[in-house]
Amino acid sequence: MNAAEHTPSDTSRKGRTTMQLNITTDYALRALIYLSGQERTCNSQSIGEYVSVSGEYIRKILRMLKAAGMVISDQGAFGGYKLAKPLSEITLLDVLQVTEDTVRITRRAEKARGNDENDPLLRLYNDAQAWVDRTLSSISLQDIVDGKETPFSRK
């Protein structure tokens, strides 16, 4: 296939057409959104049932979110989890930085040691990364719940 025949719907050599977030990110986002609709603390079992994941796995995710300051936990018989701050103060980038191994768009940009002004591809990667970071940090979880239009919205 030559470049003129390549279309965006073609698959890569691994058979994938899009970048994918890991499932932990999805579970974390769903758990945070679930907690926002609760008036009191929720135990990990109820959160796990909502997210459709085991109690052990949701507790691991909740520990990550707690360490990042997104949720707080109360111990004891009536303990559980609740949001540490409103969804309007938690961005997609915040969550991805906790749940993804990297939020970098390329390994090359990730491994770069400073900006090489003479490398046009590295400049492109850095510009694209800056756009991704700005975009992800401009979308709060409240925006998602409210159905607000984002740069990712289909028009």
Which stretches of the chain score pLDDT less than 50?
Answer: 1-12, 17
For the stretch 35-41, contacts whose Cβ atoms lie closer than 8 Å and that sit 24 or more positions apart, written own/partner, are 35/71, 35/81, 35/82, 35/83, 36/83, 36/86, 36/87, 36/141, 36/142, 36/145, 38/82, 40/80, 40/82, 41/73, 41/74, 41/78, 41/79, 41/80, 41/81, 41/82
The whole-number pLDDT of residue 115 equals: 56
The whole-number pLDDT of residue 85 equals: 97
The whole-number pLDDT of residue 103 equals: 81
CATH tag, 23-145: 1.10.10.10
The whole-number pLDDT of residue 21 equals: 86
The whole-number pLDDT of residue 4 equals: 43
The whole-number pLDDT of residue 77 equals: 78
Q: At what angle do helices 44-51 and 55-67 cross, to 10 degrees?
A: 110
